[in-house]
Chain A
């Protein structure tokens, strides 16, 4: 299906576009032909231009000079922020932070090492039980599983 623009719609679009670019001869002829055929289009054209001329004139007027105090305040605010930004980007600003972070890392590593050492100490205990048998002439003996519950005298008998 081919879309065909209605003459009135095309007329309006061209009137609007005439504000943005020079129209071609064919487009100008189209506008004039339609205006001749329908006088209400003359009003539509001038009304459209009036509305958008008004819109243009409603642009904020900044031609009047800004009071020097206001201008200075505006500049100062920006300059202050730029300074803060520049300081933050500098190495000196971050040096204490870097030192602190380094120290924290060292402390963490040391704590980890201590923890690992204490774990390793617990793991090196020999298997078996040490017991002291009181009474008779027996001396304290170490019972080791390898010797299948034979008692090994810790001290040779005199």
Chain B
């Protein structure tokens, strides 16, 4: 079903998405399914980067799809669907992060690691969890999701100046945490 709609080029891809969104507005479930398979990976990746929990990320991605389909009537331009869906997902993650208590994570060097890369990844996970959720989200959206300042400001609903200062603080803290952890 979904495989039949495989994209050939970005141009065709965009046209197809427009078609699917239009069909979705009429309640076509095949089109809905196509949109889910197209955007699932991106949403799950972004949510996992922010929440650091794959299962929770899958839940959030589902919630984002549901919300986007429910509020499809609010979307003025069909071609903006991808950004609209992504913004919903990030905002849901932010809400989830706000509800979460800050986690106290202790770095345990006795944990089994398969190599330097894995070790670094584990350490990064732990250090990110030590940052306050707003700083962590800003850092992840910029460094991992590669969003521009304006995009980060839009999804986090804060002015660009705030993004800039949060990013600077987040980088400072992350860098000092990293130095502290690697010196031990």
Contacts and interface: CB of A to CB of B under 8 A. Distances in A.
B174 interface: yes
A91 interface: no
Interface residues of B, number: 39
A59 B114 CA distance: 18
Interface in B27-60: 27, 29, 32-33, 36-37, 40-42, 44-45, 48-49, 54, 58
A91 to B, nearest CB: 15
Contacts of B69: 78, 82, 85
Contacts of B145: 59
A19 B145 CA distance: 13
Interface stretch (A69-77, A122-130, A134-142): A69-77
24 contacts: A13-B168, A16-B167, A16-B171, A19-B143, A20-B149, A20-B167, A51-B174, A52-B171, A54-B120, A54-B124, A55-B139, A59-B144, A59-B145, A60-B45, A60-B48, A71-B37, A74-B36, A75-B33, A78-B66, A79-B29, A79-B32, A81-B62, A85-B70, A86-B27
B82 to A, nearest CB: 16
A58 interface: yes
Nearest to B69: A82
Mostly, the A contact residues are: helix
B149 to A, nearest CB: 7
B32 A66 contact: no
B143 A55 contact: yes
A78 B62 contact: yes
A117 interface: no
Interface string A37-77: 00000000001100110111011101000100001001101
B128 to A, nearest CB: 8
A12 B179 CA distance: 15
B65 A66 contact: no
Given A16-B168, A78-B66, 9 more contacts: A51-B174, A52-B143, A55-B124, A55-B139, A58-B125, A58-B144, A62-B48, A82-B69, A85-B70
A135 B71 CA distance: 91
A20 B62 CA distance: 31
A16 B40 CA distance: 32
Contacts of A48: 175
B144 A56 contact: yes
B36 A59 contact: no
Given A58-B125, A58-B144, A74-B58, A79 B33 contact: yes
A70 to B, nearest CB: 9
